[in-house]
């Protein structure tokens, strides 16, 4: 408590002790203890009350978020189950979502292919004495088109749920890549005639260019196949369900964290108040000198606990052996939390 320190307690205890205050009949009951300790209790109660109000504000805010999240979680679970049943009817009972993949490695491989693709294309065109602008345009076109066409084709090949539009798009990409390569081949012939280049050198260079692009396309196709899902629509529904589940669990954890934070704060304030009361009494006793025990306040002689008022909505948990468990049980009486937990239980049964 910043407003009252140990130094304040010692000073107040010394001053009151010299004045033989509190009197011997003060037994600590019904407010019969020093004014300083009354002040300590009041300050502690005020700070605890503010902390509890902030906790209730955070709790109310989080519960409102859960009122929105739980219906979304239920909808996601229903959508996932519907898609799963459809996939099982179409592809067999062994259909199940796959473990989530990290696309970082797949994207890294694709970027490497793009870099190598661009380098090979531009160097090839430069060797064949293509004009600078043509070199850049064709090189970039092939650099972007061939790896992307391979990656997307691999993704389509992996998926058992193949839509006609996806097949058509993959075919268009491949056709465009082949067409562009054929255009480049035709351009080589023209280049031979116009620039009077050695036909063998041009042919060998072009074949190297062609083989390298096929290799890049193949690597991109394998990359796309390996990192894609067998049942994309099911996987999408599963990822959405997992995201909703994480959101719900994060909110639940936020409730417990806020309670734990407040619990620690309240206990710390109570301990500080008791410590300041003890420091005050020790300083008071020393200031009185050697006096008979019956001349000391009665509550100095026992294990006096300074009473600090705590809001009832929080005090109920402090009386429990396990306050956190008691709070969790209280949360489960709220319809939103209970419904959300029932859904989580169903989801976890499936995930086993």
pLDDT for 213: 75
pLDDT for 303: 85
pLDDT for 67: 95
Contacts 24+ apart (CB under 8 A), 121-127: 121/209, 121/213, 124/205, 124/206, 124/208, 124/209, 127/205
**Tokens 């067999």 — which residue?**
92
DSSP line for 193-261: HHHT--HHHHHHHHHHHHHHHHHHHHHHHHHHHHTS-SSHHHHHHHHHHHHHHHHHHHHHHHHHHHHHH
Residue 129 tokens, joined: 């004495």
**Tokens 């692009």 — which residue?**
213
Confidence of residue 2 (pLDDT cuts 50, 70, 90): low
Residue 229 tokens, joined: 């899902």
C-alpha span between 340 and 89 (Å, rounded): 29
Confidence of residue 116 (pLDDT cuts 50, 70, 90): low
Confidence of residue 136 (pLDDT cuts 50, 70, 90): low
Residue 173 tokens, joined: 């990409």
Q: What is the pLDDT of residues 286-341, one digit of tens each?
A: 999 989 988 999 999 888 999 999 999 999 999 899 999 999 999 999 999 999 99
127 pLDDT more than 60: no
Q: What is the pLDDT of residues 42-74, one digit of tens each?
A: 999 999 999 999 999 999 999 999 999 999 999
Confidence of residue 149 (pLDDT cuts 50, 70, 90): confident
- Counting residues of the chain whose pLDDT is more than 70, the rounded percentage is 80
- Counting residues of the chain whose pLDDT is more than 90, the rounded percentage is 55
Q: What is the pLDDT of residues 211-223, one digit of tens each?
A: 777 777 887 888 7
pLDDT for 83: 94
* Cα dist from 264 to 223, 268, 322, whole Å: 51, 6, 13
Q: What is the pLDDT of residues 81-92, one digit of tens each?
A: 999 999 999 888
19 pLDDT more than 70: yes
Residue 297 region by backbone torsions, left for phi larger than 0, else alpha for psi between -120 and 50, else beta:
beta
C-alpha span between 215 and 67 (Å, rounded): 53
Residue 304 tokens, joined: 């006096």
How does the average pLDDT of the chain come out, rounded? 85
């Amino acid at each position: 408590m910043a407003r009252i320190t140990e130094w304040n307690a010692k000073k107040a205890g010394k001053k009151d002790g010299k004045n033989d205050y509190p009197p011997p009949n003060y037994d600590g009951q019904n407010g019969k203890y020093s004014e300083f300790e009354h002040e300590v209790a009041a300050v502690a109660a005020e700070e605890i009350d503010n902390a509890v109000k902030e906790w209730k504000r955070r709790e109310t805010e989080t519960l409102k978020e859960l009122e929105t999240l739980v219906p979304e979680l239920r909808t996601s679970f229903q959508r996932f189950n519907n898609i799963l049943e459809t996939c099982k009817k179409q592809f067999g009972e062994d259909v199940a979502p796959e473990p989530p993949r990290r696309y970082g490695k797949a994207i890294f491989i694709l970027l490497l292919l793009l870099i190598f693709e661009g380098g090979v294309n531009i160097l090839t065109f430069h060797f064949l004495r293509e004009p600078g602008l043509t070199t850049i345009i064709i090189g970039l076109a092939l650099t972007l088109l061939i790896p992307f066409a391979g990656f997307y084709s691999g993704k389509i090949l992996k998926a058992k749920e193949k839509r006609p539009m996806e097949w058509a798009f993959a075919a268009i990409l491949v056709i465009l890549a082949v067409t562009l390569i054929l255009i480049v081949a035709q351009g080589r012939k023209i280049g031979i005639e116009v620039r009077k280049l050695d036909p063998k050198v041009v042919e060998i260079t072009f074949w190297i260019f062609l083989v390298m692009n096929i290799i890049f396309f193949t690597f991109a196709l394998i990359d796309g196949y390996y990192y894609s899902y067998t049942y994309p629509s099911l996987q999408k529904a599963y990822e959405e369900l997992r995201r909703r589940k994480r959101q719900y669990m994060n909110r639940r954890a936020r409730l417990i964290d806020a309670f734990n934070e407040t619990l620690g704060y309240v206990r710390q304030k109570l301990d500080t108040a008791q410590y300041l009361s003890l420091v005050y009494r020790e300083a008071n006793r020393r200031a009185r000198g050697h006096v008979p025990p019956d001349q000391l306040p009665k509550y100095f002689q026992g294990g006096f606990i300074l009473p600090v008022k705590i809001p009832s909505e929080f005090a109920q948990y402090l009386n429990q052996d396990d306050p956190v468990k008691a709070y969790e049980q209280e949360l489960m009486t709220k319809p939103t939390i209970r419904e959300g937990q029932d859904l989580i239980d169903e989801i976890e049964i499936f995930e086993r």
